[in-house]
Amino acid sequence: GSILVKEGESDIGCLLAFKRDIQNAPQVFDTWVGNFTRCPYSWHGIDCNYGNYSVIGVTLEGLGLVGEVNLSALTGLRMLRSLSIARNQLSGQPFLGVGAFSFWSLESLDLSSNRFSGALPLSFLRVLVELDLSNNQFTGAIPRTFTISFFLRTVNLSQNYLTGELPSLGEFVGPDRSLPLQILDVSCNNITGPLTKSIGYYQSLRTLKLGNNGLSGKLPSELNMLTHLETLDLTKNDFSGTIPHSLKRFRSSFHPGNGMLRFPDSSARDSHGTGPDGLYIFTHQTMFPPEYDRPGPSDYPLGY
């Protein structure tokens, strides 16, 4: 006959399967012992829901964990809302084999500052609000599912080896729709192609970091629609043409003096304005105005 497994017991099985992939975890899992019929609330890094029935959070940050990890071990945590294993020494392809119907409840995922590789996930982003995969070794293109979510507020994919173009949104988002994304950071990758007019759909953006890529072409006038923008980093790309007029509201900006990228006229920017700081725009061929000291190779302002 079949064995009836309660949800809490199933959660414990998932956690123990995940633990088996960890090769080095000094004292971290010493608390992962004992018999539980529900969520193991006393285990390090585990958060339970009311009544301790199900695991809703796994937080194992900066603990020196070493091992090849695959998130498929945790797909049975049906109530999981938050997962963070950032700032460890974990490797492998974490999304390999993770099905399209996994992590139905996941709202926050942080795998940053590890050694993960492989392609980015194409699915299970249904209700995700915060995503941080920065400072890893992910490759391939950015899936369109990342850019058309009606829940995502923060996406950080910086410092990876991503290639291809930024996904265009035109065929997915109607003309009257605005996406809720507030922070988008894809800096320090190998992304090429243009910044398309679909950027205008992100009218809630406060931070947009595209620096240290291979983006090219003219900046779209749709940047004028990003009225909440506080930080814009386009450094070390190959943009040309004029800077959209609305960006004059930034108090501090760098822009090239060789005509590759420029404000429409010399009066377009008031250096003593009352707008936000944090407009960083220069290209590989940048020349700096005389009032600025040219930064060294490792001193480009990235807004961090």
The CATH fold of domain 7-280: 3.80.10
Q: Tell me, what's the pLDDT at 235?
A: 86
- Rounded CA-CA distance 304/298 in Å is 13
User: Band of the pLDDT at 249, cuts 50, 70, 90?
Assistant: low
- Name the least confident of 6-10, 30-34, 50-54, 192-196: 6-10
Tell which residue, 112, 119, 68, has the closest CA to residue 90: 68
Angle formed at CA 97 by CA 32 and CA 180, multiple of 5 degrees:
90
Q: Tell me, what's the pLDDT at 265?
A: 53
- Name the least confident of 45-54, 144-153, 267-276: 267-276
Q: Tell me, what's the pLDDT at 201?
A: 85
Question: The pTM is what?
Answer: 0.83
User: Band of the pLDDT at 158, cuts 50, 70, 90?
Assistant: very high
SS3 assignment, position 152: coil
- Name the least confident of 67-81, 89-103, 162-176: 162-176
Residue 192 has pLDDT above 80, yes or no: yes
The tokens describing 67, both together, are 């091992």
Residue 257 has pLDDT above 60, yes or no: no
The tokens describing 39, both together, are 């969520």
Average confidence (pLDDT) over 40-66: 94
Residue-wise pLDDT tens digits, 112-156: 999 999 999 877 667 899 999 999 999 999 987 776 677 889 999
Break the chain into its structural domains and give their ranges. Answer: 7-280
Average pLDDT of the chain to the nearest whole number: 79
- Give Cβ neighbours of residue 260 (< 8 Å, ≥ 6 apart): 239, 240, 283, 285, 286
The single-letter DSSP state of residue 168 is P
Residue 275 has pLDDT above 50, yes or no: no
Give the sheet arrangement for strand 214-218, strand by strand: 192-193, 214-218, 238-242, 261-262
